[in-house]
Each structure stands twice: as structure tokens, then as C-alpha cells.
Amino acid sequence: IFQCFPGCLTIQIRTVLCIFIVILIYSVAQGCVVGCLPWAWSSSPNGSLMILSSGGRAPVLPALPCESAPHALLCGLVGTLPLAIFLRVSSLLKMILLGVLTTSYILVLELSGYTKAVGGGSISGRSFEPIMAILLFSCALALHARQVDAEEERDDMERVKLDNKRILFNLLPAHVAQHFLMSNPRNMDLYYQSYSQVGVMFASIPNFNDFYIELDGNNMGVECLRLLNEIIADFDELMDKDFYKDLEKIKTIGSTYMAAVGLAPTAGTKAKKCISSHLSTLADFAIEMFDVLDEINYQSYNDFVLRVGTWL
């Protein structure tokens, strides 16, 4: 429920539910151990009441073995195990709950008839085994919680890093962005490079300003901008084709789309080929832009017009 509906549950509600569920499961699991507490020895096996005190003497507790003593360790493990399934809860809260649950478990275990059931009178020998086991198990859960938090932080950092890298590659040509991503401090200087053959293309939708109207029906123009964003996104998808790998998007200004070819560093015979291929690349890309816009016009019942100009 915490992962399926994260938008419906705030951090506070999620934390309260986690604490409630863990305490509820722990209370139910500790039932067999609590039944071994001294104040639960008020009746004998045959159902007759036993006198715990007489006259002025101190109460005499019968040394009855606890029938559920073998399950004491399993109850403690079951009570703390639910903390491992709440992956969206901070490790600090898990550690605090682990400390409280482990301490209460040890206290209940020492006050119960477990030590008498195993034949000991203190936390020694066999009576110390479940305490040691629950402590080790709690440490393992604490390490697991911290590891989950560390993995989430690492995933968040990787996600932010990829987003920043995607934005950088969207703003700059690939080789220029790669230049600034290198660890060399000298690459932080301004980048400049001269090219002998470059093709530039401007594509605009001149009648989009007539389409853009701020009304209550289109959310004050937001729907118009969303349609423009879809058009630009479809143009960007065309550049993902291998045929247009040398084409670079420069920027968009309103409904004007600017792209350039020939910015990738080339040398030798490949540079000579670029002179004759730049115009062909720009023309093919413009034709596909017309096809994309026609498809959008057909789906949105609009009549946008694309105007393209190239310079070589």
C-alpha cells in the first residue's frame, strides 16, 4: 500500500501506520511470552486457584515451567521482522523501534518463566541464547535498513546526475557537452571552435500566435503551450535517428526551431563529404518535419503551417 499509493500517503501518515502495524504485530507475537509472566501464574494446571500470599509472608511463586518457552525466540523474531518490509520508512525510525522492541523483549523474557523452563535462574547458559539471538537479529535488521537508505540515496543521486546530463546534452552539442563533462579542470574555460562548413536551419510555425489564446477553456493558454511542446518533442525524436546523428538542435524560441549540421569535429575525406551532404541532411529533416506537423494537424484538427529556411 505504501508503494502503490505514494501520493495518497504523506510521510507523517506513513510513519504512524508503520509504528502502529509493527507494535500490533509485536504485541500479538509476544502473547506467548507474556503468558509466562509471574502474574499469569495465578491458576494451577487443574484450574484451582493458588494462594500467592498468606499472612505477612512474602508471595510464594510456584516454579511452573512455561509451556510456550520454546517459542520465545520465534516470537521475538516475528515481532521485529515486519520492520524490514517498510522500505519507505527512514532507517533512523527503524533503529529506534528496534531498540524499543528489543529492550522490551529482553525485559519480558527475564521477568517471565523462561529461565525456569530451561532450567536456569539468570541470563546464563541456555537462557542467554534467545537474548543473544535477538540482539544479533536486531543488528542485522538495522544494517539492512541503513543499506536500503544508502541504496535509495545512491539511486537518487544517479537519477539527478542523469537528468543534469540529459539537460546538458539537450542544450549543447554532444561533443561540446562531453568536453565539459571531462574531469580536466582546464575544460571549464569557454569552449570555442571554428568550422568551415556548417548548415543552419530555421523552422517556425507562423500561425501559432493566432492559435494561442488565453481563455478559461484552455486553462489560460496552458493547453496551447502543451500542444506546442508536443510538436517540438516530435521534432526532437526525429534527431534520434541514425541518419540525423550529425544534426544538432540549437534552441527553440517560441514556435521557432533552430538546428545545425556540421558542428561535429571532422577531418580528412569525411570533411569533404560534409560539404555536399549538409544540404541533403537539412532538406530530408525538413521534409520529415512537414510530415510530423501534418500528422499533428490531422489528430488535433488544426491547420498549422511550417515555414523552413536553410543557410549553408
* pLDDT the model gives residue 21: 84
* pLDDT the model gives residue 157: 93
pLDDT > 90? residue 205: yes
Residue 281: how many CA atoms within 13 Å on its side-chain side?
Answer: 26
* pLDDT the model gives residue 276: 73
HEC string of the chain equals CCCCCCCCCCHHHHHHHHHHHHHHHHHHHCHHHHCCCHHHCCECCCCCECCCCCCCCCCCCCCCCCCCHHHHHHHHHHHHHHHHCCCCCCHHHHHHHHHHHHHHHHHHHHHCCHHHHCCCCCCCHHHHHHHHHHHHHHHHHHHHHHHHHHHHHHHHHHHHHHHHHHHHHHHCCHHHHHHHHCCCHHHHCCCCCCCCCCEEEEEECCCHHHHCCCCCCCCCCHHHHHHHHHHHHHHHHHCCCHHHCCEEEEEEECCEEEEEECCCCCCCHHHHHHHHHHHHHHHHHHHHHHHHHHHHHHHHCCCCCCEEEEEC
CA-to-CA distance for 124 and 114, rounded, in angstroms?
A: 12
pLDDT > 80? residue 142: yes
- Taking residues 188-214, what's their average pLDDT? 83
- Taking residues 64-75, what's their average pLDDT? 62
What residues contact residue 224 under an 8 Å CB cut-off, 6+ apart? Answer: 211, 212, 213, 218
Name the least confident of 99-113, 193-207, 248-262.
99-113
The residue type at 81: L
Residues 265-276 have pLDDT tens digits of 665 545 555 677
Is the pTM higher than 0.85? The answer reads no
pLDDT > 80? residue 96: yes
Residues 145-176 have pLDDT tens digits of 888 888 888 999 999 999 988 888 777 777 78
* pLDDT the model gives residue 286: 93
Residue 276's φ and ψ, nearest 5 degrees, are -90, -15
Which range of 69-73, 94-98, 110-114, 234-238 scores highest in mean pLDDT? It is: 234-238
- Taking residues 5-25, what's their average pLDDT? 74
- Taking residues 126-139, what's their average pLDDT? 75
In the predicted model, what is the mean pLDDT of the chain? 75
Catalogue all structural domains in the chain, each as residue range(s) with its CATH number. 11-43+63-163 (no CATH), 192-311 (3.30.70.1230)
* pLDDT the model gives residue 53: 46
* pLDDT the model gives residue 64: 46
